[in-house]
Amino acid sequence: MAAGRLSPGSRLPATRLLAGELGVSRGVVVQAYQRLADEGLAEARTGSGTVVTGRGVRRAPRPAGDRRRALDELRLPISTTDGVDIDLSPGVPDLSAFPRAAWLRAERAVLDRVTAADLRYGDPGGTPRLRAELVGWLARTRGVRCEADDVVVTAGVAQGLALLAQVLRARGVDALAVEDPGSRGATDQMVFWGMRPTGIGVDEHGMRVGELVATGVRAALLTPAHQFPTGVVLSPERRRELLAWANRDGGLVIEDDYDAEHRYDRAPVAALQGSAPERVAYLGSVSKSLAPAMRTGWLIAPRGMQAELLAAKHASDLGNPALPQLVLAQLLSSGDHDRHLRAVRTRQRSRRDALIAGLRAHLPEARVAGVAAGLHVLVLLPGTADDVVLAGRVAAAGVQVQPLSWHRRRPGPPGLVIGYAAHPPDRLAEAAARIGRALSRPGP
């Protein structure tokens, strides 16, 4: 009836008949019909028994294409992605390399010993076991200084940003310095949560801290280890300037430790957080080491923000799901996570080399930057062409890349942001050849 399976006007069986069929007393059926009448789904009509009204529970009609359009608005402004067979969007690791066997082993080990109490609503900051593992792992790999109670386990860096924005807004802070160019996704999210971004230029040393200081803004979001999208590392001089600003002006550095685990040519620079734990809110996740769909990350903020962040996390979702947290803790403690990272790092380096070689051969006039770390390179193009148009031409050749201008707040030279982690060298060579052909052709 409510689901629309009985059409309006159709008659329900007589109560005596239905009671006989179902083997229940007639009183039960009379009561059930009365309930239907009370809910407006049926009505008793003299002479014709009980009839379906057709009122039922109605949903508003879904506007045509509404969901599709809403999702599209969150994506790239490229004219078409139809016919793309090599997706080189940045920020995605090789998902076919997800360590399934190790995950399954860890899940078994966890389920063998998980207690009933572990399945209760837990600490909104995360299960103690994962927080404790993260303390050791982040200290060893990133130089982060914290204790288990400083860690808030989040649904990715994205949720860490959302929590920070909510707390900053509640404190009356809404101005936020962001890198320009910088992650469009991260900035859009902060805007969603009510922050007002101010773009600060990025050069070969990272964010221009002098520009930041001049704005008077008190919170800055950065990707110091491997700047997105340029790939530069924040220089020692700029790190010092940034921390001096934070200490002197009471600034908060929001350190998005994006891509830090993927460094090929030398050991990664340590996180800023280790040098100034009370001035830095540190964010990381397994999105680039395991998979973005894990939606698992961490936030380690100055201690003065802890209570408000926990309240915001509690209000959002009462805490991350417990079992995946315990499995990740097991992967970290068994060393399987590190083994996985070592294995993918070797493979990614050869993929990066294949893409660079292909671009040098097919696009010799371009400059390829940001190659020392991460899962993408930045291709800087000569001239003044609109890179959204260029990315559209590349997409028409079946290769998806991101235009650099999509990540810019003010105009600048054209470029393409190209991810390489998800494809084997021969596909990357093919992609580079297609990109070269698409860009060398005179086009619209």
Ligand X SMILES: Cc1ncc(COP(=O)(O)O)c(C=O)c1O
Query: Which of residues 49, 54, 185, 398 is near ligand X by CB under 6 A?
Result: 185
Q: Of 29 and 260, which CB lies nearer to ligand X in the complex structure?
A: 260
Q: Taking the CA of residue 63 as centre, how many other CA atoms within 13 Å lie in the half-sphere pointing to its CB?
A: 5
Q: Of 186 and 378, which CB lies nearer to ligand X in the complex structure?
A: 186
Which tokens sit at 155? 């649904």
Query: Which of residues 143, 199, 274, 292 is near ligand X by CB under 6 A?
Result: 292
Residues 139-178 that bind ligand X (CB under 6 A): 156-158
Q: Of 264 and 406, which CB lies nearer to ligand X in the complex structure?
A: 406
Stretch that binds ligand X, among 104-112, 181-189, 198-206, 346-354 (CB under 6 A): 181-189
The pattern of x and - marking residues 297 through 316 that bind ligand X according to CB under 6 A reads x-------------------
224 scored as a contact of ligand X (CB under 6 A): no
Report yes or no: 177 and 204 within 8 Å, Cβ to Cβ: no
Sign (positive/negative) of CA torsion 359, 265, 375, 337?
Answer: positive
Helices 336-362 and 100-113 cross at an angle (nearest 10°) of 160
Residues 413-432 that bind ligand X (CB under 6 A): none
Report yes or no: 285 and 156 within 8 Å, Cβ to Cβ: yes
Query: Which of residues 285, 289, 306, 400 is near ligand X by CB under 6 A?
Result: 285
| Rounded distance between C-alpha atoms, residue 42 and residue 37, angstroms | 5
331 scored as a contact of ligand X (CB under 6 A): no
The pattern of x and - marking residues 47 through 86 that bind ligand X according to CB under 6 A reads ----------------------------------------
Q: How many residues bind ligand X (CB under 6 A)?
A: 15
Query: Which of residues 186, 327, 371, 439 is near ligand X by CB under 6 A?
Result: 186
| Rounded distance between C-alpha atoms, residue 36 and residue 28, angstroms | 13
The SS3 of residue 327 is helix
| Rounded distance between C-alpha atoms, residue 374 and residue 359, angstroms | 17
Query: Which of residues 15, 50, 273, 287 is near ligand X by CB under 6 A?
Result: 287
Q: Of 41 and 283, which CB lies nearer to ligand X in the complex structure?
A: 283
Stretch that binds ligand X, among 49-57, 284-292, 392-400, 430-438 (CB under 6 A): 284-292
Give a three-class secondary structure readout of 47-115: CCEEEECCCCCCCCCCCCCHHHHHHHHCCCCCCCCCCCCEECCCCCCCHHHCCHHHHHHHHHHHHHHCC
Q: Of 185 and 398, which CB lies nearer to ligand X in the complex structure?
A: 185
107 contact partners, CB below 8 Å, separation of at least 6: 323, 327, 330
| Rounded distance between C-alpha atoms, residue 179 and residue 225, angstroms | 13
Query: Which of residues 133, 256, 261, 387 is near ligand X by CB under 6 A?
Result: 256
Residue nearest to ligand X (CB): 156
Q: Which spans of this chain sit near ligand X (rule: CB under 6 A)?
A: 91, 156-158, 183, 185-186, 223, 228, 256, 258, 285, 287, 292, 297
